[in-house]
Amino acid sequence: MKAEKYLQYLQKEIHSTVFATIDENGNPVTCVIDMMLSDENGLYFLTAKGKAFYSRLKAHDSVSVTGFHGKDTMSSKSVTVRGKVRELGDVLLTEIFKANPYMEEIYPGEKSRAVLRVFQIYQGEGEFFDLSAKPIFRESFSFGGSEKKISGYFAGSACIGCKLCFSVCPQKCIDIAAKPVVISQSNCLHCGRCAEICPVGAVEKR
């Protein structure tokens, strides 16, 4: 349910997203693509067969997508998804146009829409990041059978309880009452300052 909530937020609240794909020379290429639909099975978008974006999707099925929402940086929320895509043909095309009526202005009439193809991001992992929260809030999720990867900074048993990590943590998200100290993963910026200052190398990056 957590993944579906964030996928829906990306599609409905953010909608216009930045897609990263790979071109024929292995170089990264970005473009802005609207997310048309979302459900528990992933995200849905479309493109025309004649576009370079379509060719890149057919050549490489891995994509990275980021969407940003907010009036300025400190009120912003973002969702990033990294995953696999597949072409669905014209399946859901009618539903997409019904849910996104502005598409009628871009592709008016059935004949012009014959060139469109629907794609699905059917498997992946992602992260919700909220800079408007104090402290910041982040949460990872996965869908389509993809395993959620644990990343961040963690204090190990070598911790001596010196509290230097807390003194430099910009979000003060380290519980120094515990030993070893506990870094709150949902509030961590992943800046790595705690690992830099630890005198015994007890903080590791995963």
Beta bridge partners of 128: 79, 139
- pLDDT tens digits for 66-100? 999 999 999 999 999 999 999 999 999 999 999 99
**Residue range(s) occupied by CATH 3.30.70.20 in the chain:** 153-205
Beta bridge partners of 34: 16
Q: What is the mean pLDDT of residues 161-171?
A: 98
Instruction: Give residue 1's pLDDT band: very low, low, confident or very high (50, 70, 90).
Output: low
Query: Looking at beta carbons, which pairs linking 95-104 to residues 24 or more positions away fall under 8 Å?
Result: 95/37, 96/36, 96/37, 96/44, 96/46, 99/36, 99/37, 100/34, 100/36
- pLDDT tens digits for 125-143? 999 999 999 999 999 999 9
Percentage of the chain lying above the pLDDT 90 cut: 97
Residue 196, pLDDT > 90, answer: yes
**Residue range(s) occupied by CATH 2.30.110.10 in the chain:** 2-143
Which CATH superfamily groups domain 2-143?
A: Electron Transport, Fmn-binding Protein; Chain A (2.30.110.10)
Considering the domain delimited by 153-205, tell me its CATH architecture: 2-Layer Sandwich (3.30)
